[in-house]
Amino acid sequence: MSRKQAPDGQGLRFEADEPAPAALTFGLGLQLAVLTVTVPIVIPTAVMRIGGAGDAYLAWAVFAAVAISGIATALQAFRFGRIGGGHMLVMGSSAAFIGVSITAVEKGGPAMLATLVVIGGLFQLLLSARLAVFRKILTPAVSGTVIMLIPVTVMPILFRMLDDVPQGSPDHAAPSIALITILAILGVSLKGTAMLRLWAPIVGVVAGTAVAAFFGLYDLDRIAAASWIGLPSAEMPGLDLDFGPVFWALLPAFLLTAVIGTIRAMSSNAALQQVSWRRKRPVDFRAVQGTVTVDGMSNLLCGLAGTVPNTTYSLAAPLIEITGVAARVVAVATGAIFLVLAFLPKALAVVLAIPGPVVAAYLLVLVAMLFMVGIGMVMQDGMDYRKGMVVGVSFWLGVGFQNGAIYPELVSEFAGGIFSNGITSGGLVAIVMTWIVDFLGPRPVRTETEFGIAALPKIREFLAGFAARNRWEGAMADRLDAVGEETLLTLLGPEDRSGAPGRARRLRLSASKGEDGALLEFVVAPRGENVQERLAVLDARGEETPVEQEVSLRLLRHLASSVRHQQYHDTDIVAVQVKYPAPGSNRVGSNRVK
């Protein structure tokens, strides 16, 4: 079968690990760079302008943002141990950090921003190293709520910036510029083709800038004064290590937003994995960890350089769908083009000269869409009354605290005004409420044993006790016993089955009762193939005569209602959902190993 013909009909010409022709690689890299380079230019520009930073520091912050985005984009394309996502992932300044970054620059200066960004980057590296441990904290409901609160903190600033024009400008200049910018973005987004919609933000910025030039508000002198090739004077602010009230007031908001950046990186990598291979695969969380690691490293560099934090974008996903090219070398080309643009001051000056109303209108659409992304994350796994209460209460409390409507005197004096920021207050409420809901739910029971064939009797005894405590007899008890056995045998390698000496591994098994059955979770040190992927291969092959190694897989497929295998660098987690048998079902049990 030719590599340019996808067996499942996706039409993918080049998978992530396949080389693509040089001309095609450069062309797609240039297109991806042009589509995204405005992000690490416009966002730092808006933050520094609104925060009151000088022009010299603004030029440095934009240069650093573009250069670091280029380095990180190229790094994301590789897999060096635990570093890199191995897919066409583009890095750029994070819209989620706009509000807290502006506040940091306003209240503490660039050095305060640098310190908080460095700590946020280190926090992301910690999350990456122990991503399996934090998986129950990084829930879609919590992250979606925090994303929905970002526009609450940013929109008032953008509304004021819509009228940011020099004194003496015509009264209708700012409204006209902003209106044309928004209408152009919305018009192309709503009526354009799939390819044209990718260019909607750039079209809007160009249209708004043209109107600004008509009113004489586009700073051509800045562009003329900029050199073609060069490096801005280094304005690295250093770190503010006084750790005063401003630091402690903003730290929780930065850490919460770093969590959002981590979830954004995770979802971006997962989205790229779904479109970068001809045959559908379960998400490889080791690649996800690599993406989060580069995200954290990138933000560490951003903090040391004194610019706005980065995040991982999945913009390449629709481009892959359209072109059929998922080769990761395209991301390397994109990163290289970013670096070249960083050393072209005149090209950066073209963007830095864009008037405030254009920047505000561009970000207004971007932040509004961010709100809808938050809603989508909240609804990702459906909605029930518990999740609805967590999201609703935490969101509106965040709005109230942000606008000073909830005990403003007390809030401003407590812990340096830590709860005055809606992201911090609403995010903390969401985390606490999620923890309470989990704490009050059914508690799982756990056991730990050595990982090997000798563990089977203990697993059977544990599951029999779990079934007895829940008054499950007959078919359900037998099904749990059989699932425990087949999952263990599926996870065991040939040397584990034979008892050959090797690295000692431990198995942790937890069992919890749900509304329609039981959830078993097997946690073991990683090795081998993904069980979920092997099950998918069995489904594709049908019911042909199995080899001995596939017997456990086939039995597990029929006994469990769902099997999810999450592979991390330090942990394998296999979650098996076992539903109640239908009334009148026969007793089931494999009893293949005594």
What are 375-406's pLDDT values in tens digits?
877 886 678 888 889 899 999 998 898 888 88
Burial-class residue 88 by CB neighbours within 10 Å (0-12, 13-18, 19+): buried
Please tell me the pTM assigned to this model.
Answer: 0.69
Mean pLDDT along residues 284-298: 90
Task: Report the distance separating Cα 91 and Cα 88, nearest Å.
Answer: 10
The region of weakest confidence among 151-160, 235-244, 373-382, 510-519 is 373-382
What is the dotted CATH code of the domain comprising 445-579?
A: 3.30.565.10
Instruction: State the alpha helices, DSSP H only, in 77-163.
Output: 98-129, 140-161
Burial-class residue 453 by CB neighbours within 10 Å (0-12, 13-18, 19+): middle
* Size of the chain, expressed as the number of residues it contains: 594
What are 325-369's pLDDT values in tens digits?
888 898 999 999 999 888 888 877 776 677 888 878 877 887 787
Task: Report the distance separating Cα 419 and Cα 249, nearest Å.
Answer: 8
Q: Which among 13, 257, 241, 295 is positioned nearest to 150, based on CA atoms?
A: 257
The percentage of residues in the chain with a pLDDT greater than 70, rounded to a whole number, is 84
Which DSSP state fits 154?
H
Residue 414: what pLDDT?
62
Q: Say which residues have a Cβ less than 8 Å from residue 32's Cβ, sequence separation at least 6.
A: 88, 90, 315, 316, 319, 330, 331, 334
- For residue 372, which amino acid is it? M
Residue 408: what pLDDT?
81
Task: Report the distance separating Cα 522 and Cα 576, nearest Å.
Answer: 8
Residue 548: what pLDDT?
46
Question: Please, which pLDDT band fits residue 500 given cuts at 50, 70 and 90?
Answer: low
Torsion angles phi and psi, residue 326, rounded to 5: -115, 10
CB of 121 within 8 A of CB of 282? no
Q: Which contiguous run of DSSP H or E holds residue 333?
A: helix 329-342
CB of 112 within 8 A of CB of 127? no
Q: Which contiguous run of DSSP H or E holds residue 541?
A: helix 531-541
Question: Please, which pLDDT band fits residue 497 given cuts at 50, 70 and 90?
Answer: low
Distance of CA 402 to the CA centre of its chain: 25
Residue 296: what pLDDT?
93
CA terminus-to-terminus distance, the chain: 44
Residue 5: what pLDDT?
40
**Mean pLDDT estimate for the chain:** 80
- For residue 191, which amino acid is it? K
Task: Report the distance separating Cα 388 and Cα 394, nearest Å.
Answer: 10
The most confident of 231-235, 323-327, 414-418, by mean pLDDT: 323-327
Q: Where are the domains of the chain?
A: 22-438, 445-579
* Strands 445-450 and 517-524, bridge-based pairing: unpaired
Q: Say which residues have a Cβ less than 8 Å from residue 410's Cβ, sequence separation at least 6.
A: none
What are 15-55's pLDDT values in tens digits?
888 888 888 888 878 877 866 777 888 889 888 888 888 87
- Spell out a b/e string for 8-18, using b for 16 or more CB atoms within 10 Å of the CB, else e: eebebbbbbee
Pull the structure tokens for residue 3.
């590599």
Residue 503 has pLDDT above 90, yes or no: no
Higher-pLDDT residue of 429, 139 = 429
- Spell out a b/e string for 494-516, using b for 16 or more CB atoms within 10 Å of the CB, else e: eebeeeeeeeeeebebbbebeee
